[in-house]
Structure 1
Amino acid sequence: MIRPPANDEAVIPKEAIAQRARIVGEANALDHRSGTALGQLLHGGYIDARQHDAGLRVQRVWSTWMRLAGCPPIALVAHVQGQSASDDDARAAEEWNRAKDDFDAMARVIRTQEASKLVWDAVEMVCLGAVDFRENPVMLDRWPMWGHRFKGALDDLARLWKIASKEAA
């Protein structure tokens, strides 16, 4: 029987912990959220918990839409045999309609932002994990140029999805 490691430190390579600590501090280096761009922004004090939760919702909505639209996955995924959404046409159509409505609502909010192309790119890169500030620290150096617009979009999305500050983790 395989036993799980006693703590995150046993799973996360020391080099990764050191890189995380440079961005999020020693106290947050082992937090699982520090392995994502959103978590790095949260622990670095760039965004608040409500904005972080809105970013996680962006990730779920966008990833679901991409999967159902037949887009290739952003990261490698394991294919599991079994029933898929396409096995049941009615369920698949309902799931697609829901995903498309969610994506369209999210897209409308992002497109209404000032400098919407910049905001769209920032939301996509950060929320879908296409950027890692440990590997691309220049993006954090440029936070004053894009951060307030990114945060504004997350605030508007949090309102759309009724994510309250007290519910944010």
Structure 2
Amino acid sequence: MNMLTSVLPLWSRVMVTACLVGVVFLLGQLHGERVAGDFHNEYVGKQAAQTVKIIKAQAKVVTETETIYKDRFIKIYEKGDKNEKETSTYVTADDSAACVVNSGFVRHHDSAWSSNTAGPATIADREPSGISLTAVAETNAFNATTCLAWREQALGLRDFYKKLQTVTNESQE
């Protein structure tokens, strides 16, 4: 020890000791950061795997729902077109001539579909509108088809949302 103290002054020994302590401290920091980095990478990897699992499950739901409801829409519109084309079978020209559609009916019908009030009835409401009973039946068939399609769309979206919630929750477990 005497030789060490005579060769190296006190300040240089303190510096060497401080440097050694600093190197050991930095090595410990690097190791800690590596461990924390590995933990973070593992966490991100699990999140990515879970996200991929959820996306695959949701894609399956999208495909199934689209297939089911697309077929239903096609059937609804095909039947609706058929009903519109067959109107003249059920409401003949003689029927249209025998039944006069007055202007009040047309005004009331149009106001109901625009969600407005028709206002008070007038004498002009009793006049013939010039619209045949066949045209009324065709309009009714078209409106029914559209409403049925909207209903199927609403039911499909509700079913789709529930299925998405289910697969998302199941995939997170």
TM-score by length of 1: 0.23
Looking at secondary structure, tell me which structure has more helix per residue.
Answer: 2
TM-score by length of 2: 0.23
